[in-house]
Amino acid sequence: MATSSLPLPDRPSVAVLPFANPEGDFDAQALADGLSEHVTDALACTPGLFVSARNSAFTFKGRTVPPEVVAGRLGVAHVLTGTLSRIGTRLRVQARLHRAADERPIWLQDLDEDEGAVHALRGRIVAGTVAAMAPDLTRPAAPERTEPPLDAGVYGPFLSAYSNHAMPSPESVELRIASIEAVRRLVPEHPLPYALLAQCYTNRVVQGWSADAAADCAEGARLARLALERDEGDPAVLMMAGHTLAFLAQDYDTALGLLDRSLALNPNAAAAYERSGWVRCYVGEPELAADHFHAAKRQSPLDPNTFRFDSGLGLALCMAGAHEEALAWLDRSMAEDPGWTSTHRVRAASLALLGRQEEARAAADRFMDLEPSYRVARAMRLYRPSPGKDRFVEGMRRAGVPFD
């Protein structure tokens, strides 16, 4: 995790900390988390703003940290905080916008609405925040998107599935699939559960945890297309469906179009930059991939899943021939999550291409312990022909990763 202040972006910038529920009520806290998510998304889709990613902002949940410290850690000029309480059928929300250099909030608002008016609350908070920190910003925000259900019984598990992309074991993937399936049955026309399920199947195949990879590839691609049928304008749906169709179906032209549209709608999405980075590697564009992984890291500097950004950056640099630099990021990724298999195979390849054969063999052995079914021929199917692919494949072969 970063420990020093990051330089500020060249445009108005803000982080939305998770709103708190002072009473400690579980259902009300789910609504508070949801309101924080929606405010973050709406600000992130507002042209002209830099908005720190949700995953980094939520690392401060339940902690009392001065706004200036949060601003420095996330590299933003403003921090939005708030509380949400539910009194009967009413929601009471306090929102406070802090500028790092000021002791007192530069904008505050107390709101009292019926619990069905969460969308209106979100709109008023976003409008007040933008007016206070960027009064000259006149470009319109993105249009309203379809929202997840607000019934707390559905909303709690939905938010857990939506925000938590970490799936460190086969068991965690199965639990997440079961959780999202329960939400999907309750709201069968909502696109995000389908997109989330598609990403679960992708993760299962990526990590070599699939008992039937062909069946999981087909199911994941089917779910991605069902998500797109329900909404082709939600940047999160576009991002997850695009990544799934690239990895599971090798439909790269469609995938790149979806990812580019996602980033056009939400240029503050660390997850979309990450997914785009992987797909750019698959199609042989490692330099652009590296730029996107760097963008993901800047957008979400405290992300719990930063090992994925570092692993992807290592792959892009390996494909570009920058093996010493690749190893620096791969070692960071491995320290953050030693079970992420992609890191180990790329590390083995870079070590081999540097002539460090003994270390490369040890890295390959460690990788094969984690994913014994992997074969280099899999990479040859996943990646389009390119000099970067040839370099990566040759490195794995020299390291001793089985070919077929």
Q: Are 147 and 123 in contact (CB under 8 A)?
A: no
**Coil, strand or helix at 81:** strand
Residue 265: its pLDDT value, please? Answer: 95
The neighbouring-strand residues paired with 371 are none
Amino acid residing at 204: R
The DSSP secondary-structure symbol of 20 reads: B
In this structure, the strands spanning 13-16 and 50-51 are parallel
Q: Are 86 and 20 in contact (CB under 8 A)?
A: no
Residue 172: its pLDDT value, please? Answer: 82
Q: How far is CA 195 from CA 23, 185, 228, 244, in A?
A: 34, 14, 8, 9
Domains of the chain: residue spans and CATH? 13-133 (3.40.50.10610), 151-267 (1.25.40.10), 277-404 (1.25.40.10)
Residue 249: its pLDDT value, please? Answer: 95
Amino acid residing at 199: Q
List average pLDDT for each run of 10 residues in the chain, which is 404 residues long.
71 96 84 88 94 95 92 96 91 94 90 81 92 78 49 53 62 86 86 92 86 94 96 91 95 96 96 95 97 97 94 98 98 94 96 98 96 87 94 97 94
**Coil, strand or helix at 45:** coil
DSSP of 170-186, one letter per residue?
Answer: HHHHHHHHHHHHHHHHH
CA distance 199 to 176: 11
Q: Are 279 and 256 in contact (CB under 8 A)?
A: yes
Closest CA to 329 of 360, 301, 294: 294
Residue 338: its pLDDT value, please? Answer: 94
Residue 150: its pLDDT value, please? Answer: 44
CA distance 70 to 91: 27
Closest CA to 52 of 63, 64, 40: 40
66 CB contacts (<8 Å, ≥6 apart)? Answer: none
Closest CA to 377 of 341, 398, 402: 402
pTM of the model: 0.89
CA distance 367 to 399: 11
**E strands within 74-207?**
78-87, 90-99, 107-114
